[in-house]
Amino acid sequence: MPSFAHRTNQRHGFTLLEMLVVLGIIGLLATFAVPASLSALARARDAKRKSTIAQIGRFLSAQACYRPDAGTGDYDLGQLFDEVKAKNPAIGQFLSSVPRDPRGGTDAITKYRYVTNEDASKCALYANLENANEEVTLVTLAAPTPGGGTGVLASPSPGPNGSNRWFQVSN
């Protein structure tokens, strides 16, 4: 009979020490991988915000700023969506549902804001970013401002997504 058929003194499985070493290595790798992936997710959500705000901002301020029925002021986009859609049926083809922030925005509270000045000649659509290190391009602004231009601004206090950086599209 071949000698390999009756080996009974071989061990099967891993020792506790081997398992602890493998778990320690996996834990160490996870310590580095998780923060990097969370940062990448936040940057991806910021890119989505910027893209959505830019598209809608161009639409809302294409010819003249939209003046809400309630008058000039600062509104969540969810408050205005049905009103804008009723007045401009073509928007239904452009937007089937209200755009919302990828981190906790709902149909009622989108976390995307729209603001106009007193005579609605200037307007801005804006959202809070997650990346607190986002490069500021609107250095003269400390708050979203109608007529302030398009870009990133830094405010004195953080917004709903945790950073003090805001992206706005304005005429």
Q: Is the pLDDT of residue 1 over 80?
A: no
60-109 residue pLDDT tens: 666 678 889 999 899 999 999 889 888 888 777 777 888 999 999 998 99
Average pLDDT over residues 31-35: 77
Whole-number Å distance between alpha carbons of 93 and 33: 41
pTM for the predicted model, two decimal places: 0.79
Q: Which residue has the higher pLDDT, 83 or 59?
A: 83
> How many percent of the chain have pLDDT more than 70?
91
Tell me if 6 is assigned to some domain: no
131-163 residue pLDDT tens: 999 999 999 999 999 999 999 999 999 999 999
Q: How far is CA 123 from CA 6, 61, 155, in A?
A: 84, 7, 18
Tell me if 7 is assigned to some domain: no
Q: Is the pLDDT of residue 7 over 80?
A: no
Give the number of other Cβ atoms within 10 Å of residue 111's Cβ.
21
Tell me if 128 is assigned to some domain: yes
Tell me if 52 is assigned to some domain: yes
- Number of compact structural domains in the chain: 1
Give the number of other Cβ atoms within 10 Å of residue 82's Cβ.
11
| DSSP calls for 19-60 | HHHHHHHHHHHHHHHHHHHHHHHHHHHHHHHHHHHHHHHHHH
Q: Is the pLDDT of residue 12 over 90?
A: no
pLDDT category at 10 given cuts 50, 70, 90 is low
Tell me if 2 is assigned to some domain: no
Tell me if 8 is assigned to some domain: no
Q: Dihedral sign, CA of 65, 68, 72, 77?
A: negative
Q: What are the b/e assignments for 120-153, b being 16+ CB within 10 Å? A: eebbbbbbbbbbeebeeebeebebbbbebebbbb
What residue numbers bound the domain in which 161 lies?
15-170
The CA angle 116-136-171, to the nearest 5 degrees, is: 30
Tell me if 149 is assigned to some domain: yes
The SS3 of residue 123 is strand
Whole-number Å distance between alpha carbons of 77 and 98: 8
Tell me if 60 is assigned to some domain: yes
pLDDT category at 125 given cuts 50, 70, 90 is very high
